[in-house]
Structure 1
């Protein structure tokens, strides 16, 4: 990839991920921020926006590190197993394990007595649905072998990057961390092949 394209990918991902996180943070506490605005506390609101932008930029950077780490791992996987089909099968198994763990372990650790497992399933299902949609787009724009790697990246790598939020189990932090990660990952995945001009 040309240096110009690499710089573009870095800064565009940083901007898009940070902005998505800032908007998410504002939406989650909109009633509180709206009350501040009505009371004329514009400076406080601006400070909060800048804070959300800064925090979200950290997770956007984590997303970028995860993306390039996965590109390296993907190449190693192809080299070790000598077969795209075998490597994709292994990734498919890891996707299933990750989704199961995302539900089972969080429910086992954080669920209150009598609490339903549905909310834990919904989060994993949301991530899977986004992954399938993005992987389908990636496949259509590149080749059919790209579906599983794209799904793996969105589900497994995003989950690994999301661990700080998953450990806190605070609903606001869950989404405040997930959205910039997910938006950044989706953007990178669907932008890379356009920048390098390859159907791969």
Structure 2
């Protein structure tokens, strides 16, 4: 991994995360963006692009923190199998947190637990698809770490949106999570191509 590849990883991730968030932001609030003329649309889109770019920077910091954690954990536990089992437990724990703890903290009268299960389960399903893709392009040992990164790390990065007053505003949850998912997916599936590890890479 040389400097040129690191720069490409940084700016391509920034652009993909910012663009995806801007597009979703406009699509989820068309009346605001298209109801005030061209300048309203332009500056609104520019603002959303900037917000999404900032979120994608969080995703990049999260990814490099995850890579550090992965190496430290493999050195500590001396076993890929043991570390993978721990990661599976953490995935299940975070899934429980996302559903139940958000329900007891933010549910309003009349809301059910099922309503708080939709987005976490969609996130888990998406994470599993990306992890399978990573496994197919590298090797079978990468599935659990990829699932852990896409689900657990993305959730940690998503925490600011999950804990603010607009937590039940689905629009803002999607606006915040979209750049994270786009950036994290891109980083996860690009790194082994940049390093040339391919099926030799187990992280």
Structure 1 and Structure 2 fold alike (TM over 0.5): yes
Residue 140 of structure 2 is aligned to residue 141 of structure 1? no
CA 1:9/1:194 → structure 2, altered by over 3 Å: closer, same or farther?
A: same
Residue 84 of structure 1 corresponds to 80
Q: Which residue of 2 is the match for residue 12 of structure 1? A: 12
TM-score (norm 1): 0.96
The one of 113, 120, 131 aligned to 1:117: 113
Are the aligned partners of 2:33 and 2:45 in contact in 1 as well (CA < 8 Å)? no
What count of residue pairs does the alignment treat as equivalent? 196
Q: Does 1:53 align with 2:49?
A: yes
**1:147 deviation in Å?**
0.2
Give the superposition deviation at 1:33: 2.1
Per the TM alignment, residue 171 of structure 1 is displaced from its structure 2 partner at its CA by: 2.0
Structure 1 alignment gaps of length 5 or more = none
Structure 2 alignment gaps of length 5 or more: none
Matched, 1:152 2:166: no
Q: Structure 1 residue 173: deviation in Å? A: 1.8
- Given candidates 54, 61, 69, the residue that maps to 1:73 is 69
Q: 2:128: which partner in 1?
A: 132
Deviation at 1:28, TM superposition (A): 0.9
Shift of 1:119: 2.2
SS of 1:162 mapped into structure 2: helix
What is the Cα-based RMSD across aligned positions, in Å? 0.8
**Contact map agreement 2:88 2:144 (CA 8 A) in 1:** yes
CA shift digits 1:45-77 (9 cap, x unpaired)? 100000000000001000000000000000000
C-alpha separation in 1, matches of 2:110 and 2:18? 37
Q: CA contact under 8 A between 2:56 and 2:180: conserved in structure 1? A: yes
Do the aligned residues in 1 keep the contact of 2:62 with 2:153 (CA within 8 Å)? yes
